[in-house]
Chains A and B, each alone.
Chain A
Amino acid sequence: MTALDMWTYGVVGATFALYIGIAIWARAGTTGEFYVAGGGVHPVANGMATAADWMSAASFISMAGLIAFNGYGASVFLMGWTGGYVLLALLLAPYLRKFGKFTVPEFIGDRYYSQAARIVAVICLILASITYVIGQMKGIGVAFSRFLEVPYDMGLYIGMGIVAIYAVAGGMKGITYTQIAQYVVLIFAYTVPAIFISLNLTGNPVPQLGLGSGYVEDGVASGLTLLDKLDLVVTELGFKEYTTQVMGSSLNMFVYTLSLMIGTAGLPHVIIRFFTVPKVRDARYSAGWALVFIALLYTTAPAVGAMARLNLMDTIQIGPVGAEDGNLLYDERPDWFKKWEETGLLQYEDKNGDGRIQYYNDANPEFAPKAESFGWKGNEMVKVDRDIMVLANPEIASLPAWVIALVVAGGLAAALSTAAGLLLAISSSISHDLLKGVIAKNISEKAELTAGRLSMIVAILVAGYLGLNPPGFAAGTVAIAFGLAASSIFPVLMMGIFAKRMNKAGAIAGMIAGITVTLLYVFQHKGIFFVPGTAFLMPEMGMGEDWFFGISPNAFGAVGALVNFTVAYLVSAVTAPPPEHIQHLVEDVRVPGGAGAPTGH
C-alpha cells in the first residue's frame, strides 16, 4: 500500500465515521423530523446544507472540466446554476415556507384543490429526481474504484450503505447535519488545491483574483495575463480562443442558461430544504446563505478550469509549437499521466511515429497546413476525459498526497450529500403524498414514519440498481432532470403564488404540456426513452440536428417552461376560476405573518 492509498483510506474512512456518528446523534422520532428536520434549522446552517445538497458530483468533478474545455462557453453552467437561487429566493422559497407543509406536491395538490394535480406533480418529481440520482450513484462508484482500487460495484454498495444508515435513520434531520459536515469537507477539498495552483501560476493565493492576474513563469512575471497566455497557448495549437469560444450560439447559451436557472429553482430536493427553517424571514436569508456557500465553489471553478487547461497544455507542449523538441517525449511523461492512462480516461496514440506527443486541434482546417508542415499526422491525445481535470489537478501540480486524498473525500461528500437529498424528496413524495395523501389517509404518524423509512430503502435500492445497470443514458441524465423540473414544477409553483386566477385545469394542462414538449424534443435527439436507434429526427420536415433555432436538447427546458405557462393561461382563461377559499389561501401565502411550524395536515 502506497502513502497515497493510506492517506486516502484514512481521510475517506474518517469522513464516513463522522457521517455515521451524526446519524446516530440525529435520529428522527416524528414525521416532522423525518420530512423537515422539525422545522427548526438555523438559516445559516440550512444554507450550508442546501449548498451541499445542491452541489453534486457534477459540480464538484465535472464542472471545472467543462470550463477547461469550453472556456467562456461554460459560463452557462456558472450563471445557470447560481442565478436560479435568485428566482428561488424571490419567487418561491418564502411563500412555500409560509404555506408550511412537508412536500412540493402537497402544495400543488392544495393550491389547485386537486388530487390529480398532486399525483401529476409526484410523477414529475420522481422522474426528475431518479434521473438525477443515477448520476450521483455513478460518481460514488467511480470515485471508489479509481482511488481505493476496489471494484466499481463494491464502491457503489459501500456508498449505498452509508447513505442508508444516515438517511433512513435520521430522515431530513440526519441528512441536514451530515450535509453540513459534507459541505465543509467538499469546500476544503475544492479550494485547497486551487489555492496552491493559483499561487504557482500567478503568485496570487486567491483563485478568483489569480485568474485575472499576470502569468508567472518559473518564478518570473511573464508580462502576460494568465488569460492572455491561455488564449495564446490554445490558439497556437488550433483550438478556439478560450475567453471567447461560445457553446452552440449566443441564442443557445441564452436559452441554456435560462433552462438551468428555472430548473434549479424547480428542483424539489432544493425547495424542501427551505421548509426546514423556522420562519418566512429565515427562508429569504437562507437562500442568500446557500448562494454564499455555493459561490465559494462556483467562483473558484473558473480558475480551476483555466489553470488545469494551461497546466495540461504546458505539460505536453514543452517548447515552441512546431520546433522539433517542442513536444514531450512519450517516454518522459509524468506519473499522473501513466496513472490516468491505466483507467482509459487518457489515451495516446503515436500517429506520426516520432515518440513525442502532439496535442492539437486536428479538426481545424485552418491549422491543418501548419500541422502538416510540422510533420504532425493528427491529434495524438485521442482521449482526454473532461472529468479527470479536478481529480488529476493536484497531481498535475505535484501537490502532496494528503491533498489528493482530500479531493477524493470531497468528491464522495458531494455525491453522497446530493444523493441523500434526492432520496428524501423521493421517499417523502411516496410516503406522504401518495400513501398518506391518496391511498391510506387514516394511517397513524408512526405508520407513516415507518412507510417513509421503507420507501427510502426502496429508493436507495432502485438508485443502486440503476447505478449498476445504467440505462445507457447516464451522461444525459442530469440535464434531463433540469429540463423536467423547469418545464413542469417551477411554472405551476410560481403561478400558484403570483396568479390568483390560475385554476386546476390550467395547472394540470400546463404541467403535462410542458413536460411532454421537453421530453419529445429530448427523445427526438437521444431516442425514445433513450433507447439507441429510436431517435426520430425528420430532416425532410426541416427537423435536423438541433432544428429548433439551434437549441440543444439539454437547453430545451426553458422552452418547455414557456409552453407550460402559455397552455396554463389559455386553459385557465376558458375554465371556471378557483373557488373562493383557494383565493384566500393565495392571499394568505403572500404575507408572512402567522407561519407556524410545518404540518402534514
Chain B
Amino acid sequence: MTPENRAGYWRANLGLLSILLIVWFIVSYGFGILLVEPLNAIKLGGYPLGFWFAQQGSIYVFLVLIFVYATSMNKLDKKFEVEED
C-alpha cells in the first residue's frame, strides 16, 4: 500500500467520522438537552418531541450511526484494498 493510498484512506475515514459524530452530537446534546424546550411544543404521538429524543430517539439514532459506520467502512476497505482476508 502506497503512502498516498494510506493517507487517502485515513482522510476518507476521518470525513465519515466527522459527519457521524456531528449527527451524534445534534440528536443527543442538541435535540435532547439544548433544544428540548422548543421541541417539546411538538408532539410525536403521546410524546413531547424533545423528551422523546432524550429518552428514546437518540438511542435509535446511535444504533443507526454505528451500523452506517460499519457498512461504510467495509466499502472503504474494499475501495482502498485494505480489507482483511
Residue positions of A touching B, CB distance < 8 A: 67, 72, 75, 78-79, 82-83, 85-86, 89-91, 94, 208-209, 211-214, 225-228, 243-244, 250, 253-254, 257-258, 279-281, 284-285, 287-288, 291-292, 295, 298-299, 302, 587, 590-595
Q: Check B34 against A250 for contact (C-beta < 8 Å).
A: yes
Would you list 23 pairs from A and B whose C-beta atoms are within 8 A, ordered by A residue?
Answer: A72-B54, A75-B33, A78-B58, A78-B59, A79-B54, A82-B59, A83-B58, A85-B62, A90-B21, A211-B47, A211-B56, A212-B47, A213-B46, A253-B33, A258-B29, A281-B74, A284-B70, A284-B73, A288-B66, A298-B59, A590-B10, A591-B6, A595-B84
A281-B66 contact given A228-B46, A243-B40, CB 8 Å threshold: no
Shortest Cβ gap from B13 to chain A (Å): 8
Instruction: Give complex CA distance A392, B62 in Å.
Output: 31
Task: Label chain A's interface by main secondary structure.
Answer: helix
Instruction: Give complex CA distance A587, B9 in Å.
Output: 11
Q: Check B66 against A85 for contact (C-beta < 8 Å).
A: yes
Q: Check A83 against B28 for contact (C-beta < 8 Å).
A: yes
Q: Check B77 against A592 for contact (C-beta < 8 Å).
A: yes
Q: Check A593 against B82 for contact (C-beta < 8 Å).
A: yes
Contacts of A209 in B (CB 8 A): 45
Contacts of B84 in A (CB 8 A): 279-281, 592-595
Instruction: Give complex CA distance A288, B66 in Å.
Output: 5
Question: Which of these, B6, B51, B70, B77, contacts A227 with CB under 8 Å?
Answer: B51
Contacts of A91 in B (CB 8 A): 17
Contacts of B47 in A (CB 8 A): 211-212, 227
Instruction: Give complex CA distance A244, B47 in Å.
Output: 12
Q: Check A302 against B56 for contact (C-beta < 8 Å).
A: yes
6 closest A-B pairs (Cβ-Cβ)?
Answer: A225-B46, A75-B54, A284-B70, A288-B66, A212-B45, A212-B47
Q: Check B70 against A257 for contact (C-beta < 8 Å).
A: no
11 additional contacts, CB 8 Å, given A212-B47, A592-B83? A75-B33, A83-B58, A211-B46, A211-B47, A213-B45, A227-B48, A244-B37, A254-B34, A257-B29, A279-B84, A281-B74
Instruction: Give complex CA distance A157, B40 in Å.
Output: 49
Instruction: Give complex CA distance A213, B84 in Å.
Output: 47
User: Closest residue to B5 on the A side, CB-wise?
Assistant: A591
Q: Mark B36-79, 1 if CB is under 8 A from A, else 0.
A: 11001000111110011011101110110111011001100100
User: Closest residue to A302 on the B side, CB-wise?
Assistant: B55
Shortest Cβ gap from B77 to chain A (Å): 6
Shortest Cβ gap from B30 to chain A (Å): 10
Contacts of A90 in B (CB 8 A): 17, 20-21, 65-66, 69
Q: Check B77 against A281 for contact (C-beta < 8 Å).
A: yes
Interface size class of chain B, counting residues whose CB lies under 8 Å from the partner chain = 35 or more
Instruction: Give complex CA distance A208, B62 in Å.
Output: 16
Instruction: Give complex CA distance A587, B58 in Å.
Output: 33
Instruction: Give complex CA distance A537, B54 in Å.
Output: 33
Shortest Cβ gap from B15 to chain A (Å): 12
Question: Which of these, A75, A254, A291, A594, contacts B66 with CB under 8 Å?
Answer: A291
Q: Check A212 against B33 for contact (C-beta < 8 Å).
A: no
Contacts of B60 in A (CB 8 A): 295, 299
Contacts of A79 in B (CB 8 A): 28, 32, 54, 58-59
Q: Check B58 against A227 for contact (C-beta < 8 Å).
A: no
Contacts of A94 in B (CB 8 A): 73
Contacts of A299 in B (CB 8 A): 56, 59-60
Q: Check A254 against B33 for contact (C-beta < 8 Å).
A: yes
Contacts of A287 in B (CB 8 A): 66, 70
Q: Check A288 against B55 for contact (C-beta < 8 Å).
A: no
Instruction: Give complex CA distance A91, B14 in Å.
Output: 10
User: Closest residue to B3 on the A side, CB-wise?
Assistant: A587
Instruction: Give complex CA distance A288, B65 in Å.
Output: 9
Shortest Cβ gap from A508 to chain B (Å): 26
Instruction: Give complex CA distance A595, B84 in Å.
Output: 7
Instruction: Give complex CA distance A254, B32 in Å.
Output: 9
User: Closest residue to A294 on the B side, CB-wise?
Assistant: B59
Shortest Cβ gap from A192 to chain B (Å): 20
Contacts of B82 in A (CB 8 A): 591-593
Q: Check A254 against B29 for contact (C-beta < 8 Å).
A: yes
Shortest Cβ gap from A298 to chain B (Å): 6
User: Closest residue to A80 on the B side, CB-wise?
Assistant: B28
Instruction: Give complex CA distance A86, B65 in Å.
Output: 7
Shortest Cβ gap from B63 to chain A (Å): 5
Q: Check B46 against A591 for contact (C-beta < 8 Å).
A: no
Q: Check A86 against B66 for contact (C-beta < 8 Å).
A: yes
Shortest Cβ gap from B2 to chain A (Å): 12
Instruction: Give complex CA distance A593, B13 in Å.
Output: 15
